[in-house]
Amino acid sequence: KKASIGVTGLAVMGRNLARNLARHGHTVALHNRSEQRTRDLVEQFGSEGEFVPAYSAQEFVDSLERPRQVVIMVKAGAPTDAVIEEFAPLLEKGDVIVDAGNAHFADTRRREADLRERGLHFVGTGVSGGEEGALHGPSIMPGGSRESYESLGPLLEDISAKVDGTPCCAHIGPDGAGHFVKMVHNGIEYADMQLIAESFDLLRGAAGYEPAQIAEVFRTWNTGRLDSYLIEITAQVLAHTDAATGKPFVDVVADQAEQKGTGRWTVQIGLDLGVPISGIAEATFARSLSGHAGLRAAARGLAGPSRAKLTGADAERFADDVEQALYASKVVAYAQGFNQIQAGSTEYGWDIDLGQIATIWRDGCIIRAKFLDDIRAAYASETELPTLLTAGLFRKAVEDAQDAWRSVVSTATRLGIPAPGFATSLAYYDGLRAERLPAALIQGQRDYFGAHTYRRVDREGSFHTEWAKDDRPEHPA
């Protein structure tokens, strides 16, 4: 029997995707550079469905129905190019190569253009949800041609997570659109994690809550509007006690956050596109700061404020204030991320449906949350929404939260507890709503030292002031 789809690259992600496909009744061809992984999969999980193991590229290709659909799930970067070059020459016009790894969208655009010339479809696909997601239903973000989605889409939708029967998978847009959206997903994930981490740090540092108590606070939050996978697992991590020492687990972990690079890409592309994704950037820099052990050791003795922690009723109320600050900052992070997707879509002509992105992030992925359904609804009622902050529901919630938000940021500042995510999100909110920004002064400075010219509020055109002359005459530039 021929397979309807094949997976090459059977490490944890590829293996689980292949099992997920087989469990849904699809016959799956299997291939991996080192044969042992293929043998292991068939040996351990062969009973879960129909697998067709292949031990050479040719055998793998021959085992597939046409149009052939080859899912590559190997290390991103050069290994992906190597595997594409291994299979592309063996495929025929109309066949589909799917890269489900974490590729940079620019690489995906390059590969897609190259393979399109050779008559093949190339689908760069974002997959989120980690290894458990891959097995039980991830959120899937496929790019590539519309035509490729006709054969591939039904299979991917079948194995994706579902919300009330709606798959967490949809065709995102041409060439690199899928990987771009996955990249921004990860950027938002960085911001969300940072904000949650700051909430923990503030509850402990400003109000004296213990990790186990904070776990309880998070559990309560998880029953409300913050209901999300990240809050849920945070409660579990905080409630965990280290077996060896009996201390809270969080206290025995080295406080240096690592990263695999998708947050960094998001920030780099944000800069390229000129989108102010300050929350995501701050979260990425916060990880980077945490990792600078030497720098931190050198600076540890610097003086901080001598202020007393919150006590009594203030400490009790603080958890509620932090919940509001977290919610408002989270709206900002998502607003920025969605604006970045919008900007990418415009720049590359992808025509991405933002409401659809929120729809497929509602389950399966790491940022899955009740919140995403509100974002879906916001875009459903206003497709040209300039920012989530002005959507009815979010506008009201953030306006209601702003006093608490400001109070939390000022408490953090007073006590010398770093809360860069909260602070930058609030600054973004205030920056957007400001009547006038000091950018006017910056334009004056630029014109002074570099004759960069400026526009006026009351007249059309560009102007330059001759700052070196005593009477500083102004003339059109």
Active site residues: 182, 189
Contact status: 141 vs ligand NDP (CB under 6 A)? no
| Residue pair 30/10 in contact by the 8 Å Cβ criterion | yes
Strands 139-142 and 28-31: unpaired
Contact status: 70 vs ligand NDP (CB under 6 A)? no
- Selected range binding ligand NDP among 30-38, 278-286, 325-333, 457-465, rule: CB under 6 A: 30-38
DSSP code of residue 436? S
Q: Is the dihedral of CA 439, 392, 186, 429 positive or negative?
A: positive
Residue from 36, 15, 14, 18 nearest 26 by CA: 18
Residue 72 CB, nearest distance to ligand NDP (Å)?
9
Using the rule CB under 6 A, which residue among 3, 5, 7, 9 binds ligand NDP? 9
Using the rule CB under 6 A, which residue among 3, 5, 7, 13 binds ligand NDP? 13
**Which tokens in the block code for residue 258?**
């690592």
Q: At what angle do helices 392-415 and 371-381 cross, to 10 degrees?
A: 130
Residue 429 CB, nearest distance to ligand NDP (Å)?
32
- Selected range binding ligand NDP among 9-17, 218-226, 248-256, 419-427, rule: CB under 6 A: 9-17
Using the rule CB under 6 A, which residue among 102, 194, 228, 284 binds ligand NDP? 102
Contact status: 172 vs ligand NDP (CB under 6 A)? no
Contact status: 130 vs ligand NDP (CB under 6 A)? yes
Contact status: 76 vs ligand NDP (CB under 6 A)? yes
Within 208-277, residue ranges assigned H as helices are 211-221, 229-239, 249-252, 262-273
d(CA 410, CA 433): 20
Using the rule CB under 6 A, which residue among 45, 46, 62, 79 binds ligand NDP? 79
Give percent helix, percent strand, percent coil of the chain, each to the nearest 5: 60, 10, 30
3-state secondary structure of 222: coil
d(CA 438, CA 59): 65
Residue of minimal Cβ distance to ligand NDP: 101
Contact status: 159 vs ligand NDP (CB under 6 A)? no
Q: What is the size of the binding site for ligand NDP (CB under 6 A)?
A: 22
Contact status: 34 vs ligand NDP (CB under 6 A)? yes
C-beta of 129 vs 174, nearer to ligand NDP:
129
C-beta of 35 vs 314, nearer to ligand NDP:
35
d(CA 429, CA 328): 9
Residue 10 CB, nearest distance to ligand NDP (Å)?
5
**Which tokens in the block code for residue 20?**
């997920």
Helix (H) or strand (E) holding 396: helix 392-415
Residue from 76, 381, 348 nearest 390 by CA: 381
C-beta of 76 vs 90, nearer to ligand NDP:
76
C-beta of 37 vs 452, nearer to ligand NDP:
37
C-beta of 32 vs 222, nearer to ligand NDP:
32
C-beta of 152 vs 366, nearer to ligand NDP:
366
3-state secondary structure of 163: strand
DSSP assignment of 89-147, as one string?
GG--TT-EEEE-S---HHHHHHHHHHHHHTT-EEEEEEEESHHHHHHH--EEEE-S-HH
Contact status: 74 vs ligand NDP (CB under 6 A)? yes
Contact status: 223 vs ligand NDP (CB under 6 A)? no
Contact status: 168 vs ligand NDP (CB under 6 A)? no
d(CA 237, CA 194): 15
The number of residues making up the chain comes to: 477
Contact status: 136 vs ligand NDP (CB under 6 A)? no
Residue 373 CB, nearest distance to ligand NDP (Å)?
23
C-beta of 78 vs 303, nearer to ligand NDP:
78
Using the rule CB under 6 A, which residue among 6, 14, 344, 364 binds ligand NDP? 14
**Which tokens in the block code for residue 81?**
């190019």
- Selected range binding ligand NDP among 12-20, 160-168, 237-245, 377-385, rule: CB under 6 A: 12-20
Contact status: 11 vs ligand NDP (CB under 6 A)? yes
d(CA 451, CA 338): 36
Helix (H) or strand (E) holding 184: helix 177-207
Contact status: 193 vs ligand NDP (CB under 6 A)? no
3-state secondary structure of 71: strand
Using the rule CB under 6 A, which residue among 67, 101, 137, 143 binds ligand NDP? 101
Report the interface residues with ligand NDP, using CB under 6 A.
9-14, 32-34, 37, 73-76, 79, 82-83, 101-102, 127, 130-131
